[in-house]
Structure 1
Amino acid sequence: MKMLLSFLAYLLCFDASAQIKVNSGHRYLEDSNGKPFFWMGDTAWELLHRLNRDETELYLETRRRQGFNVIQLVALAFANEDDNRKPNRYGDFPFVNHDPSQVAITPGQTPANPNEYDYWDHVDFVMQTAARKGMYIAFNPTWGDQVSHHWSADGVIFNEQNARTYGQFLGKRYASQWNIIWVLGGDCPPIYKTKDGKHYDDRPVWRALAAGIKTGEGSRRHLMTYHPKGATSSSQLLHGESWLDMNAFQSGHGSRDVDAWNWVTRDLGRQPPKPTLDMEPCYEDHPINPWDGKWTRQRGYFRAYDIRSRLYRSVFAGMCGFTYGHQQVWQFLDTTRFKPLSVGDTLIGWQRALHAEAAGEVQYLKRLMLSRPYFSRIPDQQLIVSEKGHDYRDLIVATRDSMGSYAMIYLPQSRPVTIDMSKLSGKEKRAWWYNPRTGHSQNASEKVVNDALTVTPPTLDNDQTPTDWVLVIDDAAKKYKRL
Structure 2
Amino acid sequence: MKQLLTYFLLLFTLPAFAQLKVSADHHYLQTNDGKPFFWLGDTAWELFHRLNRQDADLYLEDRANKGFTIIQAVVLAELDGLNTPNAYGEKPLINNDPTQPNEEYFKHVDYIVKKAEKLGLIVGMLPSWGDKWNKAWGVGPEIFTPENARIFGEYLGKRYKNNSIVWIMGGDRDIVDQEDRDIITAMVEGLKKGDEGKHLFTFHPAGGKSSSNFFKDAQWIDFHMSQTGHSKESKNYLFNIKNRTLTPVRPHLDGEPRYEDHPNQFNPVKFGWMDDFDARQTAYWSMLSGAFGHTYGNHNIWQFYTEDRAPVSWARTNWKVALNQLGAIQVGFMRRVFEKRNWQRLVPDQSILPKDNIENEEYQMASISQDGDFLFAYLPYGNKVKINTEKLTGKQLKGWLFNPHDGYTISLGNFENTGSKEIEPPSMGRGSDWLVIIDDAAKNYPNPQIINLLSKIH
Residue 200 of structure 2 corresponds to residue 223 of structure 1? yes
Distance 2:245 2:268 in 1: 39
**Among residues 434, 443, 447, which one is paired with 1:478 in the alignment?**
443
**Where do 1:1-400 residues align within 5 Å?**
14=15, 18-78=18-78, 81-105=79-103, 118-151=104-137, 153-177=139-163, 179-190=164-175, 192=176, 201-218=179-196, 220-253=197-230, 255-290=231-266, 295-336=267-308, 338-343=309-314, 347-385=316-354, 387-391=356-360, 393-400=361-368
3-state SS, counterpart of residue 343 of structure 2: coil
**Where do 1:423-462 residues align within 5 Å?**
423-445=391-413, 450-459=418-427
8 Å Cα contact 1:446/1:454 also seen in 2 = no
8 Å Cα contact 1:25/1:375 also seen in 2 = no
3-state SS, counterpart of residue 367 of structure 1: helix
Q: Which range moved further: 450-459 or 393-402?
A: 450-459
Deviation sequence 1:21-47 (CA, Å, 0-9, x none): 111110111100110100001111001
| Cα drift, residue 155 of structure 1 | 3.3
| Cα drift, residue 163 of structure 1 | 0.3
Deviation sequence 1:287-320 (CA, Å, 0-9, x none): 0122xxxx34451111011111111011100101
Aligned to 1:418: 386
Question: CA, structure 1 residues 321+449, in 2 after alignment: closer, same or farther (shift >3 Å)?
Answer: closer
3-state SS, counterpart of residue 205 of structure 1: helix
Distance 1:200 1:128 in 2: 36
Deviation sequence 1:354-385 (CA, Å, 0-9, x none): 11011111111111211112332111101113
8 Å Cα contact 1:386/1:417 also seen in 2 = no
| TM-score, L = length of structure 2 | 0.92
8 Å Cα contact 2:172/2:204 also seen in 1 = yes
Distance 1:246 1:154 in 2: 27
| Cα drift, residue 258 of structure 1 | 1.3
8 Å Cα contact 1:42/1:324 also seen in 2 = yes
Deviation sequence 1:201-229 (CA, Å, 0-9, x none): 411110100000111112x5101111001
Distance 2:431 2:338 in 1: 23
Deviation sequence 1:400-437 (CA, Å, 0-9, x none): 10121000000011221111111001110001100011
| Cα drift, residue 150 of structure 1 | 2.5
Distance 1:168 1:377 in 2: 38
Distance 1:221 1:203 in 2: 23
8 Å Cα contact 1:446/1:453 also seen in 2 = no
| Cα drift, residue 83 of structure 1 | 4.2
Question: CA, structure 1 residues 374+455, in 2 after alignment: closer, same or farther (shift >3 Å)?
Answer: closer
Q: Give 1 or 2 for the bigger CA radius of gyration.
A: 1
3-state SS, counterpart of residue 429 of structure 1: strand
One-letter amino acid of the structure 1 residue matched with residue 86 of structure 2: N
How high is the sequence identity, in percent, across the aligned residues? 36
3-state SS, counterpart of residue 422 of structure 1: coil
| Cα drift, residue 151 of structure 1 | 2.6
One-letter amino acid of the structure 2 residue matched with residue 341 of structure 1: V
Aligned to 2:452: none
> Could you say which structure has the higher helix fraction?
2
8 Å Cα contact 2:306/2:317 also seen in 1 = no
Give me the CA root mean square deviation: 1.7
One-letter amino acid of the structure 2 residue matched with residue 364 of structure 1: F
8 Å Cα contact 2:224/2:250 also seen in 1 = yes
Distance 1:211 1:317 in 2: 32
Distance 1:418 1:154 in 2: 53
Aligned to 2:431: 466
Distance 1:224 1:38 in 2: 16
| Cα drift, residue 474 of structure 1 | 0.1
8 Å Cα contact 1:446/1:455 also seen in 2 = no
Deviation sequence 1:64-83 (CA, Å, 0-9, x none): 111111100000121xx434
Q: Which range moved further: 419-428 or 181-190?
A: 419-428
| Cα drift, residue 103 of structure 1 | 1.1
Aligned to 1:113: none
Structure 1 runs not aligned, ≥5 long: 1-12, 106-117, 193-198
One-letter amino acid of the structure 2 residue matched with residue 384 of structure 1: L
Counting matched residue pairs gives: 435
8 Å Cα contact 1:45/1:331 also seen in 2 = yes
3-state SS, counterpart of residue 328 of structure 1: helix
